[in-house]
């Protein structure tokens, strides 16, 4: 179990540390085709820092697949709706390889307020 304290750290630094641990890069038995059996826990997620004007400028985009189904929301709107945990989860998910193991790896991540 790896614990990452997000208190006072920036969003990207916390997410990259978590993604690296979820991939198993810290382990001597690293294999890119296997899911590391290491659980990662991020604590103090509500105290993560975001720099500059990103609170209003950073956007998250999702697309339903239908015409006119693309939706955008700012970082502030996302954290108001789903909490800081969702912003961290999306940042970590974006740093993991886009393959069949991505969903299995993200299940090893827990985020606590």
The domains found in the chain, sorted by start residue, are 2-50+84-111 (3.90.1180.10)
With 0-12 CB in 10 A as exposed, 13-18 as middle and 19+ as buried, what is 100? exposed
Say what percent of the chain tops pLDDT 70.
100
Confidence band of 13 (pLDDT split at 50, 70, 90): very high
Q: Convert the pLDDT of each residue in 64-96 to its tens digit.
A: 999 999 999 999 999 999 999 999 999 999 999
Predicted pLDDT of residue 88: 97
C-beta contacts of 95-98 below 8 A and 24+ residues apart: 95/15, 95/16, 95/19, 96/19, 96/22, 96/23, 97/23, 97/32
Q: Compare 20 and 51 and report the one with higher pLDDT.
A: 20
Confidence band of 52 (pLDDT split at 50, 70, 90): confident
Full-model pTM: 0.91
């Amino acid at each position: 179990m790896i614990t990452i304290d997000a208190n006072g750290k920036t969003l990207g630094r916390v997410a990259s540390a978590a993604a690296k641990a979820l991939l198993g890069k810290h382990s001597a038995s690293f294999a890119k085709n296997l899911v590391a059996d290491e659980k990662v826990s991020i604590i103090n997620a509500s105290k993560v820092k975001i720099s500059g004007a990103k609170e209003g400028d950073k956007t998250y985009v999702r697309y339903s697949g239908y015409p006119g189904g693309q939706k955008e929301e700012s970082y502030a709107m996302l954290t108001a709706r789903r909490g800081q945990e969702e912003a961290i989860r999306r940042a970590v998910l974006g740093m993991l390889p886009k393959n069949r193991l991505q969903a299995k790896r993200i299940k090893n991540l827990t985020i606590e307020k």
